[in-house]
Amino acid sequence: MWRTTIKLKHFILNINKLAETLDLAAFHAKPVGQLSHHTKFTVDEAYDIQAASMERRYERGEKFIGLKMGFTSKAKMVQMGIHDMIWGRLTDAMLLEKGQPLLLEKFIHPRAEPEICFLVKKEIVSAVSLEEAPEYIAGVAAAIEIIDSRYENFKFTLEDVIADNCSSAALVIGEWHDPTLPIGDLKIDLEIDGEIVETGSSAAILGNPWESVEAAARLAKQYGQTIPAGSVIMAGAATSAVFLKKENIVKAVVEGLGSLEFVVK
Ligand code: OOG
Ligand code: MG
């Protein structure tokens, strides 16, 4: 009998090649097929791919500015069909300054989601409890995250999205506020062109956004990433994310933390 297929027994996962695929997809704003469709990899290997793809950005001169948590709310889990919390890395190139437009041509199929952001006061090098977390935080702000999956049709598995730096693409941060303000149950609205398109509460973020700081510290420690003083932690979206179109005016309003907006060009 002739064999018609040959099975490779000693398959070696090419972390750098997979990282390059995702990095180039982001760089050229050209989507790629899901990695999981041709390669099997674990959650830990997905974080290795993420780290390797971020190394390529750092080599181009981008600077690490903080972490983002993902799937910390039910609304997001349901929208994307993923049931585990994830985390990704943010760089200075992703940060939109006040008044700076989001240039559509730099993205594949960007979506916006309203978030709460924390400013780190003291370097976080290991897990911190919910009680200890405020000692490490200098400020809290309303924020908008722009996510842009590098995968066709914004479809992915848990491993795919982690490898893709959790769809991180851009972020806008509002005015910093005193972190002792109560933030456990604030009304959060996302408006497009003056209409509320999504509404939720900060309580949707793990029951309380401070839980996201605890989770970020724990996961960063697990994967060997410290969170330096001056960096930010995006707590995760409180609502589903909304696709963006040219000329959209996108605004987040968070009760007690004010509002922020940007224009899509
Ligand atoms: C993954 C990113 C999830 C959040 O806030 O839950 C996220 C995605 O939805 O593409 O950023
Ligand atoms: Mg997010």
The pLDDT tens digits along the chain (265 residues) read: 454 444 454 467 899 999 999 999 999 999 999 999 999 999 999 999 999 999 999 999 999 999 999 999 999 999 999 999 999 999 999 999 999 999 999 999 999 999 999 999 999 999 999 999 999 999 999 999 999 999 999 999 999 999 999 999 999 999 999 999 999 999 999 999 999 999 999 999 999 999 999 999 999 999 999 999 999 999 999 999 999 999 999 999 999 999 999 999 9
Q: How far apart are the CA of 115 and the centre of ligand 2, in A?
A: 7
Angle between helices 15-28 and 43-59 (to 10 degrees): 60
Long-range contacts of the stretch 23-29 (C-beta < 8 A, 24+): 23/53, 23/56, 23/57, 25/108, 25/150, 26/148, 26/150, 26/169, 29/105, 29/106, 29/107, 29/108
Indicate if ligand 1 lies below 6 Å from the C-beta of 167: yes
Atom index in ligand 1 nearest the CA of residue 147 equals 10
The answer to whether 254 touches 202, Cβ cutoff 8 Å, is yes
- Ligand whose nearest atom lies closest to the CA of 145: 2
Q: How far is CA 149 from CA 16, 81, 100, 132, 167, in A?
A: 19, 14, 22, 34, 4
Residue 189 DSSP SS3: strand
pLDDT at 9 (0 to 100): 45
pLDDT at 8 (0 to 100): 52
Indicate if ligand 1 lies below 6 Å from the C-beta of 159: no
The answer to whether 146 touches 111, Cβ cutoff 8 Å, is yes
Q: How far is CA 177 from CA 43, 254, 257, 260, in A?
A: 35, 12, 7, 13
> Where are the strands (E) in 92-180, listed by range?
111-120, 137-147, 168-173
- Which protein residue's CA is at the shortest distance from atom 3 of ligand 1? 70
pLDDT at 10 (0 to 100): 47
Indicate if ligand 1 lies below 6 Å from the C-beta of 239: no
pTM of the model: 0.95
pLDDT at 11 (0 to 100): 62
- Which protein residue's CA is at the shortest distance from atom 7 of ligand 1? 70
Tokens found for residue 105: 């041509």
Atom index in ligand 1 nearest the CA of residue 79 equals 9
